[in-house]
């Protein structure tokens, strides 16, 4: 009995978990091969060749090595049937982004070991302002700052800080600790009753969410008051 060669499946006929885009969404980028990642860049194949098979030809031209592939020009890639100028430019641009990322030094996150560290990091944002602002530092388990963000801006005598907004940001960035800070344009470092009440609310909310409130700073005239240093947290 003669067995006929089966016609290759079009990429749209593949099961969802095998299609590069769907596979990325389902399993993440690490589950994809280099050829599948390039296939996503290419977008589509030809009538006879799928995007993945086309991507394999691209890698073959680059000797199956990303560093060799990065040396190829737009004209080199266009030698492959099915790779036009637009596809070639997309591949070259993506590889250039990877090269630039590799070349950049990894920015070291500042580490907070004391209230002075936190003050030094945030004083430039709050110093000499004619109005009150409320800021937050989000920290990881090693007490490194993963984000610094202004929460609110108010008038001369006060500003509103919503604990829900603060901890929403903390959870989004997987922070394990927060330090909040606001300024007193009057120059008075003494915490108001509303400052004390807010600190208590933030501490209680942090306990429930397992995101620790590490400190609350009040900044005025290049000096600061630390709730943590004063044993108020």
89-118 residue pLDDT tens: 999 999 999 888 877 666 678 999 999 999
pTM over 0.75: no
Cα(121)–Cα(137) distance, integer angstroms? 9
Q: Which of 46-50, 171-175, 180-184, 204-208 has the lowest mean pLDDT?
A: 46-50
CATH of span 115-226: 3.40.140.10
Highest mean pLDDT among 20-29, 41-50, 52-61, 223-232: 223-232
Higher pLDDT, 78 or 155: 78
- pLDDT of residue 167 exceeding 50, the answer is yes
For residue 165, what pLDDT band results from cuts at 50, 70 and 90? Answer: very high
Are 42 and 91 a contacting pair, CB within 8 Å? yes
* pLDDT higher than threshold 90 for residue 7: no
Question: How far apart are alpha carbons 233 and 214 in whole angstroms?
Answer: 8
* Cα–Cα nearest to 229, from 145, 115, 117: 115
Q: Is the confidence at residue 131, as pLDDT, over 70? A: yes
With a pLDDT cut of 90, the percent of the chain lying above it is 68
- Token pair of 85 as six digits: 């100028």
Looking at per-residue confidence, does 159 or 156 come out higher?
159
pLDDT tier for residue 9 given thresholds of 50, 70 and 90? very low
Q: How confident is the model at residue 159 (pLDDT cuts 50, 70, 90)?
A: confident
pLDDT at 160 over 90: no
- Residue 54's pLDDT band (cuts 50, 70, 90): very high
- 151 within 8 A of 136, measured Cβ to Cβ: yes
- Dihedral, 193, 226, 211, 129 alpha carbons, nearest 10: 80
Least confident stretch, 2-11, 27-36, 74-83, 174-183? 2-11
């Amino acid at each position: 009995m003669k067995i006929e060669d089966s016609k290759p499946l079009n990429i749209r006929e593949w099961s969802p978990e095998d299609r590069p885009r769907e596979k990325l969404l389902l399993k993440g980028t690490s589950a994809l091969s280099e050829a599948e990642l390039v296939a996503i860049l290419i977008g589509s194949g030809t009538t006879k060749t799928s995007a993945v098979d086309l991507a394999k030809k691209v890698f073959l031209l680059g000797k199956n090595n990303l560093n060799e592939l990065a040396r190829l020009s737009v004209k080199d890639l266009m030698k492959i049937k099915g790779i036009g100028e637009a596809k070639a430019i997309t591949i070259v641009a993506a590889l250039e982004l990877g090269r630039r990322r590799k070349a950049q030094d990894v920015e070291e996150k500042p580490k907070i070991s004391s209230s002075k560290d936190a003050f030094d990091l945030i004083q430039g944002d709050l110093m000499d302002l004619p109005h009150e602002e409320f800021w937050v530092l989000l920290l990881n388990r090693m007490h490194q700052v993963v984000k610094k963000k202004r929460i609110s801006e108010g008038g001369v005598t006060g500003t509103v800080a919503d604990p829900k907004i603060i901890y929403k940001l903390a959870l989004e960035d997987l922070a394990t600790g927060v330090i909040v800070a606001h300024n007193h344009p009057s120059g008075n470092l003494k915490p108001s009753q509303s400052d004390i009440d807010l600190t208590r609310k933030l501490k209680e909310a942090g306990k429930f969410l397992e995101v620790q409130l590490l400190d609350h700073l009040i900044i005025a005239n290049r000096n600061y008051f630390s709730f943590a240093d004063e044993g108020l947290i």
